[in-house]
Chains A and B, each alone.
Chain A
Amino acid sequence: MTRPQILDQYFLDARHKLVDLAAFLDRVERAAGKDDFRLQAFRAALGELSGGKKHKAKRVLLAFSDPTTRPVARAETKGACGAWNSSQ
């Protein structure tokens, strides 16, 4: 597909998602309390969207990922929350 064709097909959907992200940040910043590791990772991931760097989806996913290489001693939970907590 050409760039104009991709824009025709996906622009409105991407715009809608971007506005939703902005509204999420407005909502969380209006609320009382402090940032946690999830919001810090979120802001780091947002930084990957601007500029001319390639593989933006990969970079965003890596911004949320555990970069360590050794197994953890024990699985304390079954779930994942979406962002790596480096303090644990």
Chain B
Amino acid sequence: MKYIEPHAHMVSRVTDDYEQMALAGCEAVCEPAFWAGFDRSSPAGFFDYFSQLTQHEPKRAAKFGLKHFCWLCINSKEAEDVKLAAEVIALVPGFLDRPNVLGIGEIGLNKNSRNELRVFEMQVELAAKHHQLILVHTPHLEDKFKGTRLILDALQSDRRIRPERVIIDHVEEHTVEMVLDAGMWAGMTLYPETKCTPARAVDMLETYGHERLWLNSACDWGVSDPLAVPKAALEMKRRGHLATAVEKVIFQSPKKFLSQSPHFKAGF
């Protein structure tokens, strides 16, 4: 069973996870830029992180036959400081030509503040200016519903943004419909405690269909499971979904979206 892991923070994972993912059928892993669990003290910290994502991590993945791609941005948890954010955003164009860079992400909102929204719009501008795909993080728990609405409003008010080139991640039952209705892609994140379980994700697939929906583990330094995607595939099989349907969700759909990136198309 081959699959693509479209959202994983491998810099926070041990090398054994790469081996387990490869054994489970993973062919490519895509790593959005995110919060390190602490605030970085300067733009130089982000420069080093972007270098890690574009130079070091692909080599670590390649040791297990895995393709590694990444997304670049300043994440929403460090976006309250607009001056820092502007300096980090200015670094990003220097990395966009690197062969594993897919686009701008994971941008978004965390606590739905004015500054977070301003920085989100600055990064949408960056994506539009450089014709980049966009991967969006939606807020956690009680903030998700409001944040998703604010994000969709901002994206839909920019006529340069084509919805089919945007993936809105971490959708749940109360946000998935508004994302799909907006013509964008929706990512379901499989977490042991928050976000979605495999059973709930498959419920949403059965309710909303298999178009413009993908599954990811978003495994990172917190409670998360790098094998969540194959476990959700197993859940589909348990319910009697055909192998072709499973492959569409865990391989063909992410491939279709990501192939809009010339770097993915060339490197996969």
Contact = CB atoms under 8 A, between A and B. Distances in A.
Contact of B146 (A1, A68, A81): A68
A79 B113 CA distance: 13
Q: Chain A contact residues (Cβ within 8 angstroms of B): what range?
A: 20 to 34
Contact of A81 (B142, B172, B173): B142
Main secondary structure of the interface of A (DSSP, over half): loop
Contacts of A79: 140
B200 interface: yes
Given A10-B199, A57-B200, A61-B173, A75 B145 contact: no
Interface in B130-181: 139-146, 149-150, 172-174
A87 interface: no
7 contacts: A57-B172, A57-B173, A64-B141, A65-B145, A74-B80, A75-B110, A75-B111
A71 B117 CA distance: 8
A19 interface: no
Contacts of A31: none
B142 A82 contact: yes
Contacts of B77: 78
A55 interface: yes
B114 A74 contact: yes
B224 interface: no
Interface of A: 1, 9-10, 55, 57-58, 61-62, 64-69, 71-84
> Interface size bucket, B side?
20 to 34
A38 B35 CA distance: 26
Contact of A1 (B140, B149, B240): B240
B220 to A, nearest CB: 14
A85 B139 CA distance: 16
A71 B268 CA distance: 39
Contact of B143 (A55, A66, A69): A66
B238 interface: yes
B248 to A, nearest CB: 19
Contacts of B239: 1, 9
